[in-house]
Structure 1
Amino acid sequence: MKNFKLSLSLEDNPLKIKDFRFFIIGHFVSFTGSWIQNTAQIWLVYELTWSALYLGIFNFLSSFPTIIFTFISGILIDLFNRRKLLSLVAFFSIFPPLILGILTQFKLVTFWQVTFLAFLSGCLSALDVPLRQVFISEIVPMKFLTKALSFQALSFNTARILGPFFAGLIISYGSLYQCFYMNALSFIPFFIFLTFFIKTTKQKEIKKIEKGEIKKSYKEVYEFLKREKKILNVIISTANFTIFGATAIILLPIIVHKIHGKGGKEFAFLSSILGLGAIFGATLVIFWKTNQ
């Protein structure tokens, strides 16, 4: 810790940049909606099936696009204008939760409908998450980038706490389907900001990808990871946590209902606790400076 000092001045504060303020507000609102839906969606699956097996199937199929399509998303990010692409992703992200809300409200929803719509949302998320991270580099100068990414992580994990908390309130005092409508609405500010307010300061030149270049790119990544063992270790550690740790939330309905005899409200509030540690870590990155 002797190599670090606490800096409350935030001289390199990315919030000074108007475009980044629009981005982080839209980012926070949309992810709060996403966590509202994620929480309500898991409880909906449990109410439809009362089965740990179906919860596992749902979790696998809804996460599958992220595992597979994230590899392809990097290619799309380089092929298209990132602001326009992110706007399109935000726009199309409105429809799966909207449809799920309608199906749930009119009691037409089935397990496979929930799973299919979650799969569609997962496909969009596989492009959305890396695209947001790359897009930040186009709206903030390089000297602000580290803290800009930390603010993004902080807003994401704050949403990770508030989203399930709001879901618990909605489940307690409203109806489950309202959670899905809330998520659909949450993408609208982000879409508006991206379309009308945020202007990129720099845009990486969009180049046409030639035949064989995709294969070459993957080979370069493979060679890079072979050389950079530390990066590979970070990826392996992250994958290990994602597979065996982060997915533990899918078991919470079983614990809450079968062991403690509680319901959706308690499940939602328990889910909100999971983001506390990540908020602490992101806050440290924002306020601690390295002595060079």
Structure 2
Amino acid sequence: MFSSLRVRNYRLFFLGQVVSNTGTWMQRIAQDWLVLSLTGSSAAVGITTALQFLPMLLFGLYGGVLVDRLPKRPTLLVTQSAMAVTGLALAVLTLTGQVQVWHVYLAAFAVGLATVVDNPARQSFVAEMVGPGQLQNAVSLNSANFQSARLIGPAVAGIMITGVGTGWAFLANGLSFVAPIAGLLMMRTRELQVVERAPRGKGQLREGLRYVAGRPELIWPIVLVGFIGTFGFNFPVWLSAYAEDVFHSGAGAYSLFNTVMAVGSLGGALLAARRGTARLRLLVAAAAAFGALEIVAALAPSYWLFALLMAPIGIFGLTVNVTANTTVQMATDPAMRGRVMALFMMVFMGGTPLGAPLVGWITDAYGARVGFAFGGAVSLAAAAAIGLVLTRAGGLRLCFGWNRGHPRVVLVPRERRKELAAVA
């Protein structure tokens, strides 16, 4: 489960990200709560989320082209430093009482700009640290890392918001970037995998798009996570609305919902690290379960039932993320990985500027339950449709039968369907 941590460079990277991700989650919670406090609007929270992911939608593919040209480690030193400065600036504004909602919007957009390069650089740098043999395990542990921080960050943020104010959470996030920057500086460059960088040239963006379009094993996972990222992952909008408007429980409830979801997500990440393989059928099944559970949670009548349902939602949501990420990375040529992962993250994260304001408006107009159910319904429909497309593209059919007195449903090649049904 933890085999890739034997690699020294990856271990330094992993430990730095634990600290930084904790600070990032603290800022996310504080940022959403600050906007809700300043405006009283779920739509404003949606706009903040949209602004943070809008740069990925606008410039994500160009970020991938840059990442394929540039050395990953120095690039990450620059992007991590830029995000640290943004967090510290927001802390100063908040602690001095000068903060306004447009300051938060601007800070979210600035972080998004840095993420355009930082995200594909981090994704593709993992392969350089551990090599292809440990890539599946390292990607899964990265997700476990992120979700572990998600356990700690919201809990600490909730305490700091209620105890000393949101400004201190922003300050903690800014200082947390010292850890990943130190880890990057301590790495042994001679132990990194040598990857030939793409030279400057015309048509590299189109080349990356053609590369993905010609490979069903890449295009359909990317399309699926696009739908789920746009409509199914708007938790800042939904959970803040449930805490404030449905259960009337304040910042503590919002922190609890995020923490319980993180527990499930951490479990999903560790299961993925142990599983060792990524299959498209697992991706589709997890996406369908994720959408269905969101619909069930939207109808939950009580505070504690809603909170408990965040755990399985976290498990299946993380399974979708890790499985899609690993499937795409393993199927991509190293020279194209920056552009492909930029497209993956652009679709997954960049769809949020389109989905978050819409979901925020639905939540404000019709209530948190309708908004949450809408996101789940779109995710479930996307999983069903893409599952059908992949089944047809693979020449497969559903086969129903019996096995020792129990019903059995399997996917088999078309020519074997009658044979398998007869045997069953």
TM-score normalised according to structure 2 size: 0.62
- 1:45-84 equivalent positions in 2, closer than 5 A: 45-84=35-74
Distance 2:167 2:188 in 1: 32
1:255 to 231, 242, 267: 242
Partner in structure 2 of residue 158 of structure 1:
148
Distance 2:188 2:107 in 1: 29
Give the aligned length.
Answer: 276
Partner in structure 1 of residue 233 of structure 2:
246
- 1:71-150 equivalent positions in 2, closer than 5 A: 71-150=61-140
Distance 1:267 1:220, change over 3 A: same
User: Is 1:287 aligned to residue 287 of structure 2?
Assistant: no
- SS at structure 1 position matched to 2:214: helix
Cα offset, 1:115, TM superposition: 0.5
User: Is 1:172 aligned to residue 159 of structure 2?
Assistant: no
Distance 1:162 1:26 in 2: 15
Give the percent of matched residue pairs that are identical in Structure 1 and Structure 2. 28
- SS at structure 2 position matched to 1:202: coil
Cα offset, 1:165, TM superposition: 1.3
Larger CA deviation: 181-190 vs 241-250: 241-250
Q: Structure 2 stretches of 5 or more lacking a match?
A: 278-424
Distance 2:273 2:241 in 1: 37
Partner in structure 2 of residue 44 of structure 1:
34
Distance 1:250 1:96, change over 3 A: same
Cα offset, 1:237, TM superposition: 2.1
Distance 2:188 2:246 in 1: 48
1:211 to 192, 199, 202: 202
Structure with the bigger RCO (C-alpha within 8 Å, sep 6+) is 1
Partner in structure 2 of residue 221 of structure 1:
212
Code of the residue aligned with 1:246 in structure 2: it is F
TM-score normalised according to structure 1 size: 0.88
Distance 2:87 2:276 in 1: 40
Distance 2:262 2:48 in 1: 22
Distance 1:288 1:271 in 2: 25
Distance 1:212 1:232 in 2: 20
Q: Which has the larger radius of gyration?
A: 2
- SS at structure 2 position matched to 1:94: helix
- SS at structure 1 position matched to 2:200: coil
Distance 1:124 1:234 in 2: 25
Cα offset, 1:289, TM superposition: 4.8
Decide whether the 8 Å contact of 1:93 with 1:124 is kept in 2: yes
Q: State the Cα deviation string for residues 70-104 of structure 1 (Å, max 9, x = none).
A: 21221111111111001111111111111111111
- SS at structure 1 position matched to 2:193: coil
Decide whether the 8 Å contact of 1:23 with 1:198 is kept in 2: no
Distance 1:101 1:117, change over 3 A: same
Partner in structure 2 of residue 3 of structure 1:
none
Q: Structure 1 stretches of 5 or more lacking a match?
A: 1-7
2:221 to 199, 222, 234: 234
Cα offset, 1:33, TM superposition: 0.8
